[in-house]
Amino acid sequence: MSADFDLLIIGGGINGAGIARDAAGRGAKVLLVEKDDLAAHTSSASTKLVHGGLRYLEHFEFRLVRESLIERERLLRIAPHIIWPLRFVLPHDKGLRPKWMLRLGLFLYDNLGGRKLLPPTSTVDLRRYPHSEILEDRLTRGFEYSDCWVEDARLVVLNCMDARESGADIRTRTECIALERGKDRWTARLRDRHGESEVSARIVVNAAGPWVDEVLGRAIPDKPHQNLRLVKGSHLVFPKLYEGRHAYIFQNRDNRIVFAIPYEREFTLVGTTDVLFKDDPDLVRISDEEKRYICDAINEYLKVDVTHHQAIWDYSGVRPLYEDNSANNSTVTRDYVFELDDTERAPPILSVFGGKLTTYRKLAEHALEKLGGLDGEAWTANSPLPGGDIDPARFDHEFAETMARFPWFGPEGVRRLMRAYGTRIERVLGGARSTDDLGEHMGGDLYEAELEYLVREEFAQGAEDVLWRRSKLGLHLDSAAQQRVADWFAART
């Protein structure tokens, strides 16, 4: 492939992936480079929600909430295999936000974004089952509203798959180590496991997340670059803390909120924190203080207290928020901000700050509008992501039909593959008539055929890519099975 591109995108998180998909679909010649795996950092360390951001209403971010609510339903339509509705229960607790404020906020939440697919808010009697068995007795009333769950890392991967199918060049484990601005093009020096190479591009998009200022420093070294506030968010995963498919959103005394969400069938995901972070984003880890904070927050509400020692997994990520000089980390805007350096008679570089999973698609449209000079109209709003050509209302029907084609794989296995690959499940199971046709059995319902698919179609290069990003099978497979996956990849190198 030629080393000359219209667009060089640095960063394989959700923002870079969304811009690559949109631009490639408009006919631009796109190269995306990511120094690690796709979604290896912030974009796989989220609370895994496509949501409007209920608490942003308190900070009067009505435009962001409206855009997020509109995008929530658009994303549900284009990726119903990896995004699905989830009901959230918000208990009212005396001494915190009053009922009238919660009602008003939820009324706005129901109506700001033209909700069509999701059910509206309702009141909940917490003295009745199942909440009476889960929550402390002082909690008697609450509200139930709708948002959506998302497989965050898969959302990134699917955007990159679609970008590649439109002609984009997607290179993982490839770092941009230098940028030089010429008269009408950028020259970038790249480094991967094979060594160094050079490419040129008419435009650079800096979507490097926590490293966006660092990339700017390479591109424009004669200017100061301090645009970011890095805020760490951490989560704990527990063995299932309660029965039911609903999630909880708990108010804290510090005016923050913490979610408790059904996770991977057998677990409960709890988070998140907001901690100022000034270290290397590659080394982000949950602290003991954060563990205690999360447990203290949910123990205010749950009848049975938990300790962080009961958690079976944790993860942390760094939010690259635009520095708006807010006094509190939790009130820093989650909106996205662009910085365009298009010095006269010089090729432009567009840097992306902030953003969230829910608004990535709109962010990509706005980024390309800001750049200009690319052919084609906006097109992604109604175009399904790979495997997403399913009516959200008919997912169970599609599952039943797929189960009828592959009864030998079992309902749990078929449902997992449907939730991961949607209509592309055929590319995983192919013409197999039994598990004997799927190659080596790694453990659980993971077979060599799925690994082959992930390498061939989804840019996977190692066991962690498979077990902790493109799936969460690392939570379900024992150490021996995980080692078999690692050995399989090692044998390919």
Task: Tell me the C-alpha distance between 327 and 56, whole Å.
Answer: 16
Delimit the domains of the chain by residue range. 4-42+153-227+334-382, 85-149+229-331, 392-492
Token representation of residue 482: 């995980």
CA distance readout (Å), 481 to 18, 448, 456, 474: 33, 12, 21, 9
Reported as a single tens digit per residue, the pLDDT across 36-55 is: 999 999 999 999 999 998 88
**Mean pLDDT for the stretch of residues 176-192:** 96
Kindly give the pairing relationship between strand 257-263 and strand 247-251. Answer: antiparallel
Band (pLDDT 50/70/90 cuts) for residue 343 is confident
Report whether 55 contacts 249 (CB < 8 A).
no
Residue with tokens 């360390």: 45
What pLDDT, on the 0 to 100 scale, is given for residue 215? Answer: 95
Sign, CA dihedral 217-202-157-338, equals positive
Band (pLDDT 50/70/90 cuts) for residue 1 is very low
Reported as a single tens digit per residue, the pLDDT across 418-471 is: 999 999 999 999 889 999 999 999 999 999 999 999 999 999 999 999 999 999
Task: Tell me the C-alpha distance between 46 and 15, whole Å.
Answer: 14
CATH T-level fold of 85-149+229-331:
D-Amino Acid Oxidase; Chain A, domain 2 (3.30.9)
Task: Tell me the C-alpha distance between 127 and 137, whole Å.
Answer: 7
Q: Using alpha carbons only, what angle is made at residue 329 by residues 323 and 335, rounded to the nearest 5 degrees?
A: 50
State the amino acid at position 315 in one-letter form. Answer: Y
The answer on pLDDT for 2 being more than 80 is no
Report whether 321 contacts 332 (CB < 8 A).
yes
Burial of 480 (0-12, 13-18, 19+ CB in 10 A): exposed
What pLDDT, on the 0 to 100 scale, is given for residue 115? Answer: 87
What pLDDT, on the 0 to 100 scale, is given for residue 71? Answer: 96
Reported as a single tens digit per residue, the pLDDT across 371-382 is: 987 888 999 999
Task: Tell me the C-alpha distance between 26 and 20, whole Å.
Answer: 10
Band (pLDDT 50/70/90 cuts) for residue 96 is confident
CA distance readout (Å), 282 to 22, 218, 471: 28, 19, 21
Task: Tell me the C-alpha distance between 29 and 6, whole Å.
Answer: 5
Q: What is the CATH number of domain 392-492?
A: 1.10.8.870
**Mean pLDDT for the stretch of residues 310-317:** 97
Domain spanning 4-42+153-227+334-382: CATH superfamily: FAD/NAD(P)-binding domain (3.50.50.60)
More confident residue, 241 or 59: 241
Reported as a single tens digit per residue, the pLDDT across 357-373 is: 999 999 999 999 999 87
Q: What percent of the chain has pLDDT over 90?
A: 85
What pLDDT, on the 0 to 100 scale, is given for residue 44? Answer: 97
The answer on pLDDT for 327 being more than 60 is no
**Mean pLDDT for the stretch of residues 243-266:** 95
**Mean pLDDT for the stretch of residues 302-329:** 88
Task: Tell me the C-alpha distance between 440 and 458, whole Å.
Answer: 20
